């Protein structure tokens, strides 16, 4: 089997099993791989050839992106070898490649306490800014989801997320009653029509808003830290992990949600034992 046939087989498999964002991530990268090796037999590709290809296509990219590209080529070979029964070893398993493109170990992100987030929201200079912060910190929305909201996406305490990261056609997020009321007041005050964006701002503007409010409190914080706070705050208040994952964060995998949650201190662990079983 040549690489061109193998890629057609792999893409046919992906079209029915992975989300749109994954297809997009593989897209041009697989095209480049096809251009380089189209007529080559799958079993003829060596680890050295894979290494040269990855060096060429990932030069200047971040370490995490380099690892992603390596993992994608490895997944491609794993699938083709398994499905077709080829008597071949995945060239990506070579020790030199695994070492050169190993995953980045991320340090745990700081989880901000409720008092800090509340003070940031209180210090917001306008209703618009406050709502942007609250939709992330209270409702768990991603900043891109907040900025892409249109008036037609709002229905009472529900928010329809169009073209979500999961690859689904749409998802639903929920708001506390007081935030839903303030958001309705804001939309009415601005006299926005159904197709209007609720917050016609760019990411840089909102990032500067969040980091600026953080500096006033001597903390370094990003918009995504507010979404992470919403998950941890819910967890610390006894909300089941399944609710946090599927309703607040809208993750497909519970493992992804667990990454978001901060580490539990000894003091907090003891407090929960007392709540559950008494002192």
Task: Round to whole Å and give the CA distance between 223 and 230.
Answer: 12
Higher per-residue confidence, 179 vs 110: 179
Q: Is the pLDDT of residue 272 over 80?
A: no
226-252 residue pLDDT tens: 999 998 888 888 888 888 888 888 887
pTM given for the model: 0.63
The C-alpha torsion from 158 through 161 and 164 to 170, rounded to 10°, is: 80
Who contacts 19 (Cβ-Cβ below 8 Å, separation ≥6)?
166, 167, 168
pLDDT confidence bin for 277, thresholds 50/70/90: low
pLDDT confidence bin for 269, thresholds 50/70/90: low
10-35 residue pLDDT tens: 999 988 787 777 888 898 899 999 99
> Within 13 Å and on the Cβ side, how many CA atoms surround 213?
25
Do 32 and 71 form a contact (C-beta atoms < 8 A)? no
Q: What is the mean pLDDT of residues 113-134?
A: 95
For the record, the structure tokens of 78 come out as 């794993």
List residues bridging with 174 in a β-sheet.
158
Do 80 and 42 form a contact (C-beta atoms < 8 A)? yes
% the chain with pLDDT above 70: 92
Task: Round to whole Å and give the CA distance between 78 and 93.
Answer: 10
Q: Where do the domains of the chain lie, and which CATH numbers do they carry?
A: 3-100 (1.10.150.130), 114-277 (1.10.443.10)
Phi-psi region of 238 (alpha: psi -120 to 50; beta: other; left: phi over 0): left
Q: What is residue 93's predicted lDDT score, i.e. its pLDDT?
A: 92
């Amino acid at each position: 089997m040549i690489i061109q046939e193998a890629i057609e087989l792999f893409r046919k498999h992906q079209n029915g099993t992975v989300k749109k964002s994954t297809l997009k991530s593989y897209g041009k990268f697989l095209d480049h791989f096809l251009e380089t090796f189209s007529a080559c037999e799958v079993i003829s590709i060596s680890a050295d050839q894979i290494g040269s290809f990855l060096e060429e296509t990932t030069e200047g990219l971040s370490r995490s992106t380099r690892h992603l590209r390596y993992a994608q080529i490895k997944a491609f070979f794993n699938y083709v070898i398994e499905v077709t029964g080829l008597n071949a070893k995945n060239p990506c398993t070579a020790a030199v490649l695994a070492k050169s493109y190993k995953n980045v170990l991320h340090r745990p992100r700081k989880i901000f306490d409720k008092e800090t987030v509340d003070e940031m929201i209180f210090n917001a200079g306008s209703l618009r800014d406050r709502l942007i912060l609250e939709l992330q910190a209270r409702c768990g929305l991603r900043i891109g989801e907040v900025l892409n909201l249109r008036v037609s996406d709002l229905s009472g305490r529900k928010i329809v997320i169009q073209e979500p990261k999961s690859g689904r056609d749409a998802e639903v997020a929920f708001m506390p009653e007081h935030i839903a009321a303030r958001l309705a007041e804001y939309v009415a005050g601005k006299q926005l029509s159904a197709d209007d964006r609720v917050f016609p701002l760019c990411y840089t503007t909102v990032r500067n808003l969040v980091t600026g409010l953080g500096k006033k409190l001597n903390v370094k914080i990003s918009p995504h830290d507010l979404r992470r706070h919403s998950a941890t705050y819910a967890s610390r208040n006894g909300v089941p992990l399944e609710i946090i994952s599927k309703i607040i964060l809208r993750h497909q995998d519970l493992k992804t949600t667990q990454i978001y949650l901060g580490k539990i201190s000894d003091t907090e662990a003891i407090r929960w034992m007392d709540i559950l079983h008494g002192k």
